């Protein structure tokens, strides 16, 4: 398992929106390992921000979007960044 260095905006979002952040960290680290093992070239931070945005501080949604990222991270990005087929957000950038 790799040690993932969290960007400040992601850390703050987790701390401000979830009670059990240790379990969130573990799940994110497992996702990062999965993405690295599958040689996903997309920004890990972008994928994580999409998950956090879509989950709206709801742990059940967080878990669902973690699974979607494993299945096809492109669908996750589309859900988080696009409305009516137009990009309205870009989670390559910080929150």
Q: Tens of pLDDT along 15-71?
A: 999 888 888 999 999 999 999 999 999 999 999 999 999 999 899 999 999 999 999
CA 18, CA 6: separation in Å to the nearest integer?
16
Q: Comparing C-alpha atoms, which of 68, 73, 18 is closest to residue 47?
A: 73
Q: Comparing C-alpha atoms, which of 29, 23, 22 is closest to residue 3?
A: 29
Helix residue spans in the chain (DSSP H): 8-17, 21-37, 44-55, 59-81
pTM confidence score: 0.92
Q: Between the CA of residue 3 and those of 33, 35, 45, what are the distances in Å?
A: 9, 13, 14
Residue 1 has pLDDT above 70, yes or no: no
pLDDT band at 7 (very low <50, low <70, confident <90, very high): very high
DSSP-derived 3-state class of residue 37:
helix
38 and 56 Cβ atoms separated by less than 8 Å? no
């Amino acid at each position: 398992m790799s040690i993932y260095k969290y960007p400040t905006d992601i850390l703050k979002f987790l701390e401000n929106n979830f009670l059990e952040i240790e379990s969130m960290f573990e799940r994110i680290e497992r996702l990062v390992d999965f993405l690295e093992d599958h040689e996903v070239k997309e920004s890990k931070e972008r994928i994580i921000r999409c998950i956090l945005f879509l989950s709206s501080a709801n742990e059940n949604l967080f878990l669902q979007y973690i699974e979607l990222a494993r299945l096809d991270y492109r669908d996750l990005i589309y859900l988080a960044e696009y409305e009516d087929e137009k990009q309205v957000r870009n989670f390559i950038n910080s929150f």
